[in-house]
């Protein structure tokens, strides 16, 4: 399809998604100004607002192409840009023992979260989405995994909605662990980095405790994000075996996963100026909000509610499992 025709076809949906995203970011800003902190970030507001709009008013045909483009391609671009904010140097700073512990926790959490989802009656795709979101990096992991396992939009929305809600709860309650467990700032940073979903949420959960917890928590979290590519590849291989047919290379290794890893390489090689990093982070975050608004706009709330109770239960027990693994790891490592 010629570019001009494609643009005309997708523009209305893109504009609608961007409008919902802009209002959601504005709502986040208002929270910060009024409360001094953010209870619900723009990403969560965007997906909820999109779902409510679709449920209340439907989605006209002229918006569908652009909404689909925003929910898929825009998010993939955001994931690629996210790779540019991660350096291999950060991994080296944290040490091989810690890296090994993070990999072990993520792998264990993936298996246990998936098992919990299946035991609670979730189908394989929905259980996989909840497990990946819980174990790696929340929304980005869910969205990266969804195309590989051919998950329907309703499953993706349900996973993100409840994962996002639980993520807020973790940020609010996790600092209590610092006082209840009598742990060091370093150990608390490890727990936060291993259990909180998003990098901004790690900052929200660790800054009140101290600079040491913020630094270690951020590094641990970045290494969890780094596992996004290998996990998506592994999920694709497993999905191909279960389906009985070989998935194409583009499904096993999606272009955005290759781009994500390539951007890490570019950053690590020093080819990306430090001055460009804030812009990369901002653009990646903004595009993610637009894609989440689009995802919400593609879903009818009634379809999500039908499986909501099971997803919420799976998310809750998965989070508890992840936190227990994180606490055990922090105690086992002791400190620097």
DSSP 141-187: HHHHHHHHHT--HHHHHHHHHHHHHHHHHHHHHTHHHHHHHT--HHH
Backbone angles phi, psi at 115, to 5 degrees: -65, -40
Nearest to 136 by CA among 218, 206, 43, 231: 231
Residue with tokens 């606490």: 327
Please tell me the least confidently modeled range out of 18-27, 154-163, 190-199, 257-266: 154-163
Nearest to 174 by CA among 204, 212, 140: 204
- Compute the average pLDDT of residues 275-286: 86
| Band (18; pLDDT cuts 50, 70, 90) | very high
Range 89-121 burial, b when 16+ CB lie within 10 A, else e: ebbeebeeebbebbeebbeebbebbbebbbebe
pTM of the model: 0.65
Give the span between the Cα atoms of 233 and 164, in whole angstroms.
24
Structure tokens at 156: 């993706």
Q: CB neighbours (10 Å) of residue 231? A: 23
Nearest to 292 by CA among 3, 70, 62, 9: 70
144 and 228 in contact (C-beta within 8 Å)?
A: yes
So what's the pLDDT on residue 111?
A: 93
Nearest to 288 by CA among 87, 4, 25, 56: 25
- Compute the average pLDDT of residues 126-155: 82
Give the span between the Cα atoms of 267 and 139, in whole angstroms.
23
So what's the pLDDT on residue 26?
A: 93
For 230-264, the pLDDT digits (tens) are 888 787 777 655 555 555 555 445 677 678 778 88
3-state secondary structure of 209: coil
Most confident range, picked from 11-20, 125-134, 158-167: 11-20
167 and 198 in contact (C-beta within 8 Å)?
A: yes
Range 168-195 burial, b when 16+ CB lie within 10 A, else e: bebbeebbebbeeeebbbbbbbbbbbbb
3-state secondary structure of 335: coil
Please tell me the least confidently modeled range out of 217-221, 319-323, 328-332: 217-221
Q: What is the DSSP letter of 248?
A: P
């Amino acid at each position: 399809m010629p570019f001009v025709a494609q643009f005309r076809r997708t523009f209305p949906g893109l504009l609608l998604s961007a409008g919902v995203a802009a209002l959601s970011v504005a709502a986040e800003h208002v929270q910060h100004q009024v409360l001094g902190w953010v209870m619900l970030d723009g990403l969560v507001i965007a997906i909820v607002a999109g779902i409510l709009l679709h449920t209340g008013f439907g989605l006209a045909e002229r918006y569908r192409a652009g909404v689909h483009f925003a929910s898929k391609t825009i998010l993939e671009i955001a994931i690629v840009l996210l790779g540019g904010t991660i350096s291999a140097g950060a991994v080296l700073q944290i040490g091989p023992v810690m890296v090994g512990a993070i990999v072990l926790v993520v792998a264990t959490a993936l298996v246990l979260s998936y098992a919990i989802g299946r035991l609670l009656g979730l189908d394989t795709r929905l259980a996989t989405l909840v497990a990946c979101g819980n174990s790696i990096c929340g929304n980005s992991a869910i969205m990266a995994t969804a195309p590989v396992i051919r998950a329907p939009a309703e499953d993706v929305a349900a996973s993100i909605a409840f994962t996002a809600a639980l993520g807020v709860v973790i940020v609010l309650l996790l600092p209590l662990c610092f006082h209840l467990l009598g742990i060091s700032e370093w150990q608390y940073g490890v727990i936060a980095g291993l259990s909180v979903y998003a990098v901004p949420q790690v900052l929200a959960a660790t800054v009140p405790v101290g600079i040491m917890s913020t630094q270690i928590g951020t590094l641990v979290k970045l290494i969890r994000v780094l596992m996004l590519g290998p996990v998506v590849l592994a999920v694709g291989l497993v999905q191909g075996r279960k389906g009985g047919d070989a998935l194409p290379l583009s499904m096993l290794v999606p272009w955005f996963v290759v781009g994500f890893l390539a951007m890490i390489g570019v950053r690590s090689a020093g080819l990306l100026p430090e001055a460009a990093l804030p812009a990369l982070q901002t653009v990646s975050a903004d595009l993610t909000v637009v894609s989440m608004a689009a995802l919400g706009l593609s879903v009818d709330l009634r379809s999500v509610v039908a499986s909501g109770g099971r997803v919420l239960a799976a998310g809750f027990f998965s989070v508890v499992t992840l936190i227990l693994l994180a606490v055990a790891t922090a105690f086992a490592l002791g400190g620097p």
